[in-house]
Amino acid sequence: MGWSIPIGTVKGTVIRIHVTFLLFLIWIGGMHYAQGGAPAALEGVVFIVLLFACVLLHEFGHVFAARRYGVRTPDITLLPIGGVARLERIPEKPSQELVIALAGPAVNVVIAALLYAALAAGGFNPGLTPGSPLGGGSEIQNPAVGMLERLAWVNVFLVVFNLIPAFPMDGGRVLRALLAQRMGYGRGTAVAATIGQGVAFALGLLGLFGNPMLLFIALFVYLAASSEAHAVQIREVSRGVMANDAMITRFESLSPGSVVEDAVQCLIHTTQHEFPVVDGSGRLRGVLTRDDMIRALRDRGPDTPVLEVMRSDIPVIGQRQNLEEALRLMRENSLPAVGVTDADGRLIGLITPENVGEMMMIQSAWPKGRAGGGPGGGGGSRLGGRAA
């Protein structure tokens, strides 16, 4: 995730802190300083750090549950609104996703139970009555309430909040897993995403009555639900489709000796946004995007060699590999394209987010039950076609 700072690695999972989280800590410190000076500021920051330590443990609950099913977890990012564990993939078996989703809240249940036991051993009885420290969220900022009591309450809150049936909360994934057992993964995701958007709408309405934070959470939940549904739709479309069924085959390419001015002429006279740089043997050297081209033209001039401004980290896949592999590479590395090669390693096509989106639109419009099943469905249809 962009604008994040790595602070350590645990069992192969990189822990990152988003810049906005650091700004959030500064804001918390400043707010408490204005109320009670330096001691209050220090206590406020320490409490938030401990709270997010609980959030981090929550995310590692997901991580270790996912590893049980062979799913890699590249990193965890801490944001002001919580943590995000990035999984390489979500298991297709609903029972496995159910375990992974519930593992995070289960960690908070354990933390709350341990804190409760520690408080009880110390002679304090944190009953969940309206006037007790664990009896309501309003007590979380009460300076008269001890830090352990507040942490115990906040872990209870994390369990309840994360089980709201809306993406990206764990409750949305639990709901999707339960629905997928009855109606399939794609349909289950669509229904769960719709419910999540309904929850977001309800949170937004509540936010209009004096809680701006709920408006922010509602927007985040709505966008996350839409993103999850879109990602699964792409995955469903790509399943069983070969790279050569979805690749662009009619495109302009640049040579290693080309300069930015040559690329500009291609941009003007075509509808392309990504231009592959191909050597004399037909092998892909990199891709020059429209944005990189314009930036180079402005900052370095039209005579700049494309080799100096292209993206050279563009991977290639074989034409008989699954389209899902290309999508995974683009998603994990934020790539503008993936090259498709023949058996001799020569570039024969490109897969871009734009042409995959067009493929999705075509498939959604394809008449139900028609022979062939749309692009990649066995009817011989191919986006772009192979140039003669």
- Give the confidence band of 218 by pLDDT, cuts at 50, 70, 90: confident
Q: Is residue 371 part of a domain?
A: no
Beta bridge partner(s), residue 114: none
| Domain boundary, last residue among 210, 238, 266 | 238
On whether both 156 and 210 belong to a single domain, the answer is: no
Q: Which amino acid is at 8?
A: G
For the chain, what is the domain count? 3
In terms of domains, do 108 and 23 share one?
Answer: yes
- The reply to whether 283 falls in a domain is yes
Same domain, 158 and 209: no
Judged against a pLDDT cut of 70, whether residue 148 lies above it is answered with yes
In a domain, 195, yes or no: yes
Structure tokens, 63 = 């991580």
Q: Where are the alpha helices (DSSP H) in 122-259?
A: 147-162, 170-183, 185-207, 212-238, 243-246
Rounded CA Rg of the chain: 26
Of 55-59, 101-105, 139-143, which gets the smallest average pLDDT?
139-143
- What does the H/E/C string look like for 18-79? EHHHHHHHHHHHHHHHHHHHHHHHHHHHHHHHHHHHHHHHHHHHHHHHHHHCCCCCCEEEEE
User: Which pLDDT score, from 0 to 100, does residue 388 have?
Assistant: 30
Is 292 annotated to bind a ligand? Reply is no
Give 384 or 198, the one with higher predicted confidence.
198
- Which element (helix H / strand E) includes 102? helix 94-121
Answer with the one of 238, 269, 296 that is the final residue of a domain. Answer: 238
62 is in an annotated binding site: yes
How does residue 2 score in pLDDT terms, banded at 50, 70 and 90? low
> 145: closest CA among 38, 153, 76, 356?
153
* Residues 219, 256 within the same domain: no
| Last residue of one domain, picked from the residues 222, 238, 254 | 238
**Which of the residues 43, 59, 252, 332 is marked catalytic?**
59
- Is 18 annotated as a binding-site member? no
Inform me whether the pLDDT recorded for 10 exceeds 60: yes
pLDDT at position 82: 78
Q: What is the DSSP string of 301-351?
A: -TT-BHHHHSB----EEETTSBHHHHHHHHHHHT-S-EEEE-TTS-EEEEE
- If asked whether residues 151 and 274 sit together in one domain, one would say no
What tokens were used for 73?
Answer: 């977890």
How confident is the model at residue 381, as a pLDDT?
A: 37
116 part of a folded domain = yes
Q: In this structure, are residues 254 and 262 in contact, taking their beta carbons and an 8 Å threshold?
A: yes
Are residues 339 and 359 part of one domain? Answer: yes
Using the CB atoms, write b or e for 168-179: b if 16+ within 10 Å.
bbbbbbbbbbbb
Q: How much of the chain, in percent, has pLDDT values that exceed 70?
A: 85
Mean pLDDT of 308-312: 92
357 and 234 assigned to the same domain: no
pTM of the complete model? 0.66
Residue 361 lies in a domain: yes
Is residue 59 flagged as an active site residue?
Answer: yes
The whole-angstrom separation of Cα 185 and Cα 96 is 13
In this structure, the answer to whether residues 175 and 145 fall within a common structural domain is no
Domain at 331, CATH number:
3.10.580.10
Mean pLDDT throughout 100-105? 92
Say whether pLDDT at 124 is over 70: no
Same domain? For 100 and 173 the reply is no
> Looking at the domain assignment, is residue 26 inside a domain?
yes
Helix (H) / strand (E) element for 135: namely: none
Rounded distance, CA 61 to CA 85, Å?
Answer: 10
Matching residue, tokens 């009885």:
125
Place of tokens 């500064």: 26
Tell me: do 295 and 344 sit in the same domain: yes
Q: Is the pLDDT of residue 123 over 80?
A: no
- At 21-47, the pLDDT tens digits run 888 888 888 888 888 888 888 888 888
Could you tell me if residue 373 is inside a domain? no
Q: Which of 95-109, 123-137, 199-213 has the highest mean pLDDT?
A: 95-109
Residue whose C-alpha is closest to residue 232's, from 199, 204, 196: 196
Q: Of 387, 386, 328, 383, which Cα lies nearest the Cα of 356?
A: 383
For residues 188 and 104, state if they share a domain.
Answer: no
Determine, yes or no, domain membership for 379.
Answer: no
- What the block records as the tokens of 294 is 């314009």
Q: For residue 277, give Cα distances in angstroms to 117, 248, 281.
A: 64, 15, 12
Q: How confident is the model at residue 291 (pLDDT cuts 50, 70, 90)?
A: very high
User: Residue 205 belongs to what domain range?
Assistant: 164-238
Q: How far apart are CA 212 and CA 208, in angstroms?
A: 7
Residue 6 sits in the same domain as residue 154: yes
Mean model confidence pLDDT for the chain: 81
